[in-house]
Amino acid sequence: MTTPLEQKSTIHEIKTRFDNDVERFSKLETGQQATIDAPLVLDLVARTAALHLKPNDSILDIGCGAGNFTLRVLQEVHPLACHLADLSQPMLERASERIENAGVNYVQTYQSDLRDLDFEENAFDCILAGAVLHHLRDDEDWRETFEKLYNWLKPGGRIYVSDLVSFDEPGVHKLMWKRYGDYLESLGG
């Protein structure tokens, strides 16, 4: 079940929100506090990615924010060629700075809507997508995006997605989103 387009933030609203929220998303210890169980998810993704990544492999972090997912993966496998994409230039600048400070020599940034990105086939060993895909607009966006992601992966490559979900059962959906809203309010957001 996808959220109707009229209920989603516009791309401009998303970009503006994240341009102004760099500090909150720059805490590796707490992850993206707006995502339920973020430290657990960061750890699960990083440890799982480490099962197949090796030094000097190439990763793409779409909707990278301040770089938490990439930084956490780098704690498990180092060095990696890091490609970072986000709508927000301030987020990209922070992510790049943090990743370079972690000793990575190759960091490439792309300020772009993920739907507008274009890479060669078989370009990445791993793609990270943390709390970004829920911004896709409709079923066609989902199909086209996952086709791109698949094509960008090298044979045997992996994509790790951690995101918000909606539920087909209205009662479960209402319950889970209330729980998430309560969680955000407890953080002051």
* Residue 178 pLDDT greater than 90, yes or no: no
pTM score, whole prediction: 0.75
Q: Picking from 27-36, 63-72, 82-91, 172-181, which range would have the lowest pLDDT averaged per residue?
A: 27-36
What pLDDT digit, counting tens, does each position of 149-168 carry?
999 999 999 999 888 777 77
Q: Which residues contact 16 (CB under 8 A, 6 or more apart)?
A: none
Q: Is 105 exposed, middle or buried (0-12, 13-18, 19+ CB in 10 A)?
A: exposed
pLDDT confidence of residue 147: 96
What pLDDT digit, counting tens, does each position of 1-50 carry?
455 556 667 777 766 766 666 666 666 554 455 555 577 888 999 999 99
Domains defined for the chain, CATH in brackets: 5-186 (3.40.50.150)
Considering only CA atoms, which of 126, 114, 121 is closest in space to residue 52? 126
% of the chain exceeding 90 in pLDDT: 54
pLDDT confidence of residue 1: 46
Q: Report the pLDDT averaged over residues 56-62.
A: 97
